[in-house]
Amino acid sequence: MKSLRLTLAALLLPVTLIMVVSIMPIASATNSASTSRAFTATMSKEYQPAPTNGGTDDYHCFVIDPHVSTNSIITAVTFKPQQKLLVHHMILFQITQKDRADALALDNNGAGWSCFGGSGLGSSFSSFLTTPWLSSWAPGRNTDVMPAGYGTPIAKGDLLVIQIHYNLLAIDFGSTPKDRSSVVLTTAPAAGSRLKALYADLFPAPVELACPTGVSGDLCDRSKSLIDLARRTSTASAMESAGLNLLCGQSAFKPTPNNTSTCDRIITQSETVVKATPHMHLLGKSLRMILNPGTPGEKILLDRPRYNFDDQSPTVLSKPVVLKVGDVVRVQCTFDPSLRAILPQLKKVAPRYVTWGEGSSDEMCLGVLGVARN
């Protein structure tokens, strides 16, 4: 664990983790449906997922070109995972000009690159949390439709990076099929439009789930579990667990396990919440996002009392909620570790102490708010 502590210290040098993920607008716009256009971006080559070191997860990134021919505003993104049985999630990142050359070099003419922890572009801690998200897909939400009056800018000639999380727990026999997924951007011309730019604001909480009473195994030891996480994903991915504990007021390396995960974050920039989306893995039971908890002005932003991994669709707020500087937003998740012995995808893997991690047999507590800057 000494090497993990050293790595964490290096990763945290810049500052605390930046949770706000944004795409800088090039214009604001509103257009009629008659002027909308669709641009398709497809992986240039087939890819066969190949986890390493005994793992069952493969995070792989690819540069894809939507061939956008004019400055535009994205009003919807339709994800088309070719191998739905294997795809845990897909995240679409927008490449800035400063990262374009690096992205193309990493892409290696369409072969792509391993990218546990995010795109691997433009971040010093966790590019999963800090690289600008354009859109994302998880089961239950094939099309990401922007709320009325909002959109995401994209410039003529822009490239994208798509991160695909392939999980092989569902493959019981035979060879792993190859994948060539794609996305479709529905856009309106930027010129003359009035749509407000929409951003993604991420609110994660640490996860610390001990093996249930009566369950034992080598990986029920937290230190051994983290070492295994680093081995089958990446060291940076394992560091996210310690970093989130530190940022959310817990001990980085000796946290108290709990089936409820919570983190409060103070808002530093005024913004208006338009929609909210939950994300956990297979042990998730519920997720809530609460504005100013425990005060007379407390307000529920998102409440999924029966979280369903197969339906991670966003909730569009009936009325937008303004977040002011100094407000507190709490994300709170509950988990049931005993499900590991029941769910078909998990019962075949060894018992383990579960932390925040990017494999499907690991966990996350993540609320995503769609916001407009005030």
Amino acid 85: pLDDT: 85
CATH 1.25.40 fits 2-16+198-373, yes or no: no
**Strand, coil or helix: 14:** coil
pLDDT tens column, 249-288: 999 889 999 999 999 999 999 999 999 999 999 999 999 9
Q: What is the CATH number assigned to the segment(s) 23-194? A: 2.60.120.310
Residue 32, pLDDT > 60, answer no
**Quick check: do 2-16+198-373 and 23-194 share a fold?**
yes
Amino acid 122: pLDDT: 64
What are the sequence ranges of the domains in the chain? Answer: 2-16+198-373, 23-194
Starting at the edge strand found earlier in the chain, the sheet holding 160-167 runs: 113-114, 57-64, 160-167, 87-94, 133-137
Reference 209, options 176, 147, 174, 255; nearest CA is: 255
Amino acid 24: pLDDT: 35
Reference 55, options 360, 363, 365; nearest CA is: 360
More confident position, 292 or 97: 292
pLDDT tens column, 62-114: 999 999 999 999 999 999 999 988 898 898 988 877 888 999 999 999 999 99
Residue 23, pLDDT > 60, answer no
pLDDT tens column, 316-355: 999 999 999 999 999 999 999 999 999 988 888 899 999 9
Instruction: Return d(Cα 317, Cα 272) in angstroms, integer.
Output: 11
Amino acid 6: pLDDT: 39
Instruction: Return d(Cα 353, Cα 208) in angstroms, integer.
Output: 7
